[in-house]
Structure 1
Amino acid sequence: MRKAFKLENLDCANCAAKMEAGISQLSGVNKATISFMTSKLVIDAEADDAEAFAAIIDAAQQVCTSYEKDCLIKR
C-alpha cells in the first residue's frame, strides 16, 4: 500500500532527511520519501489493511516529532 501525506510545520531540510531515513527503517515500511519543498511524505508499506497502515503512520509521527516537535502528519 502506498499513500501520500502533507507534513505541517516542517521547517528544516536536514530534519526532513533524518525523518525520511528513520521512517524508512520502521518495520513494515518498504520505502519512505519526504520532499522538503512540497512538505510531502510518501510511504510505501507492506500493510494489507487500513488498520495496519494506521499503526505505521503512528510510528512515523513519533519519528517526525523526535526531530521537529511541531511537525504533524496530516491524515
Structure 2
Amino acid sequence: MKKRYKFVIDCANCAAKVEDAVRKIDGVHSVTINFMSQKMVLDADDALFDEILKEVVATAKKVEPDCELSV
C-alpha cells in the first residue's frame, strides 16, 4: 500500500537521514521524503501498514525530534 503524508522537517540533510532510517524498517518497500514540498510517500505491506506507520513515526522522532508527520 502506498500513501502520501505531510511531513514537516527542518532541513534536507535531516530528511535524508530519516529516509535512510525508515527504509531499514521491516515491511517498508520504499519511502521518499521531499524536503521542499514537505511530503513523505510510504509504500509498505498492506497487512501490517498501521504497525509499520507507528514504527515510522517513532523512528523519525528518534532521528529528528522536531519533525512532524500528519497522519
Give 1:67 shift: 2.2
Unaligned stretches of 5+ residues in structure 2: none
Cα distance in 2, alignment partners of residues 29 and 67 from structure 1:
17
Aligned residues: 71
TM-score (norm 1): 0.86
Task: Give the corresponding residue for 1:5.
Answer: 5
* Percentage identity across paired residues of the two chains: 38
Q: Does 1:36 align with 2:32?
A: no
- What RMSD, in angstroms, separates the aligned Cα atoms of the two structures? 1.1
Task: Give the corresponding residue for 2:62.
Answer: 66
Task: Give the corresponding residue for 1:14.
Answer: 13
Task: Give the corresponding residue for 2:24.
Answer: 25
Flag as ranges the 4+ runs of structure 1 deviating above 2 A.
Answer: none
In the alignment, is the contact (CA less than 8 A) between 2:18 and 2:64 conserved in 1?
A: no
AA aligned to 1:3 is K
Cα distance in 2, alignment partners of residues 55 and 72 from structure 1:
18
AA aligned to 2:60 is C
Cα distance in 2, alignment partners of residues 2 and 38 from structure 1:
18
AA aligned to 2:7 is L
